[in-house]
Amino acid sequence: MHKIISVKPLSGYKLWIKFSDGVEGVVNLSDLKDKGVFKTWDDKKIFDAVYIDSESHTLAWPGGIDLCPDTLYAELTGQDIKSLFNFQSATSK
C-alpha cells in the first residue's frame, strides 16, 4: 500500500498529493463530484475538508467518504491499477 503523507485541496475539485516514496502530483476528482456519496462535494467546504485518515491512510472527508491511496497513486504515475497490485505482490515475496 502506498502511503499518502500530504494532501492539499485545489480549485476545480483537484488535489495535490504527496506519497512517502516521493511521488507527488495533482489528481482531478471532478468526474466524481456529482456521483453517489460525492454529491456532498457540491458544498466546496466539504471537499476542502480532505484529510489523511490516521488509521486507514486513505484520503477522507467528513461523512465517511474515502479514496484508496493505491488508486490515486496509479493515476498519478500512469500505471494500470492491476499491474500496480501485481508488482506489489511480486516484490513482497
In this prediction the pTM is 0.82
Q: What is the pLDDT of residue 79?
A: 83
How many domains does the structure of the chain reveal? 1
Does pLDDT of 92 surpass 90?
Answer: no
Q: Which long-range contacts (CB under 8 A, 24 or more apart) does 72-78 make?
A: 72/2, 72/4, 72/17, 72/27, 73/2, 73/19, 73/23, 75/27, 76/17, 76/19, 76/23, 76/24, 76/25, 76/27, 77/23
In CATH, what number is assigned to the domain containing residue 85? 3.30.2020.10
Q: What average pLDDT does the segment 50-57 reach?
A: 91
The pLDDT > 70 percentage for the chain reads: 86
Domain holding 51, by residue range, is 4-91
The highest-confidence range among 40-44, 48-52, 69-73, by mean pLDDT, is 48-52
